[in-house]
Amino acid sequence: MELRYRSLKYIFTICSLFALSFTSIKSQVSVPLTNSDLDDIIREQSFMKSMGIDLSQTWLFMVKDNMISSNKLLVSEISYNNAGMPFKMFFFDENNKISNFTIVKYNNNNLPFEEIRFSADSSLINGIMYEYDESNLLKKQYNYNNKSEIISVFDYDRQNDSIYITEFDGNQNIKSTNLICLTKGNLAKIKKIVKLDGNNNQIEKQEFEYDEMSSLRKKNIFENGIKTGYKEFVYNDEGALIKSSYLTNDSELINSTSYEYDNYGNIIRIIERSESDNSTKVFVINYLSKSNN
């Protein structure tokens, strides 16, 4: 939630992939799958560096009877290095005490090569290591547990307008395969993701629809070959994402997320609304920079 709208089109494409494919350990930083992803990451780094942002804090406010509570909970605190990249992330429990934290290490191209997660007492929880090809696109991902043992490996094979992602377990057995279909061109967008189990049976599928400005407008979700729902995305006149809504296949609203920005394009407020329990959460993001420390 700490990233700005300049790369939100990238974020929602890549996060859709992670939500589908990375089931054991989820990444907390952006890694490039396509040239378009890489361009967005570089732009984001440049903007963060120019703003001199050192720290971001995310606070949670609950809403009851359409009134925002005066009580707030600290959700996360993220520190950025001189290159504008998040390198330390603290996550807090309901008592505002640290529950766990993540350290991110970067290579010479300012791309993450390792995420290490620790509990509050600095005990290892798990981690991820990344390997890139000569074009700085993700080639392999290694997930390890609290004993530093490799528990899964994701291999990325690029062929024409497709990316084949094969997940292996710690014994090199295939657990699942993902096929990512891309639009044509150097700055390709993801148009379809298909997940297969170890026996090549389709488990999940996502299809993406874009407008003439290449902004993601709709994501159709399928499970076991049946469409179960879809997500719609709304943007303002400047191209910033202002709302995403998740609906059933019968167009019944399940939940929605709205976004607000400051004059620099930083996300400053995220409002999550769930229809099932009639609940609303408001996340407020504060940024601290060298100029206002």
Residue-by-residue DSSP string for 56-110: EEEEEEEEETTEEEEEEEEEEEEEE-TTS-EEEEEEE-TTS-EEEEEEEEE-TTS
pTM of the model: 0.84
Q: What residues contact residue 120 under an 8 Å CB cut-off, 6+ apart?
A: 97, 98, 99, 100, 101
Give the Cα separation of 51 and 54 in Å (integer): 9
Domain boundaries, the chain: 5-289
> What pLDDT does residue 290 have?
60
> What pLDDT does residue 30 have?
87
For strand 98-106 and strand 86-92, is the pairing parallel, antiparallel, or unpaired?
A: antiparallel
In the structure, what pLDDT confidence band is assigned to residue 147 with cuts at 50, 70 and 90?
very high
> What pLDDT does residue 292 have?
53
> What pLDDT does residue 120 have?
97
Q: Which residue has the higher pLDDT, 19 or 117?
A: 117
> What pLDDT does residue 71 have?
84
Would the pLDDT of 253 be above 50?
Answer: yes
pLDDT in tens, 10-48: 344 334 344 434 445 678 888 998 888 888 888 888 888
Q: What is the mean pLDDT of residues 240-258?
A: 96
Q: What is the mean pLDDT of residues 132-159?
A: 95
CB atoms within 10 A of CB 33: 21
> What pLDDT does residue 67 have?
76
Would the pLDDT of 6 be above 60?
Answer: no
Average pLDDT along the chain: 87
Fold assignment, 5-289: Porin (2.40.160)
Q: What is the mean pLDDT of residues 170-174?
A: 88
Would the pLDDT of 8 be above 70?
Answer: no
Would the pLDDT of 3 be above 70?
Answer: no
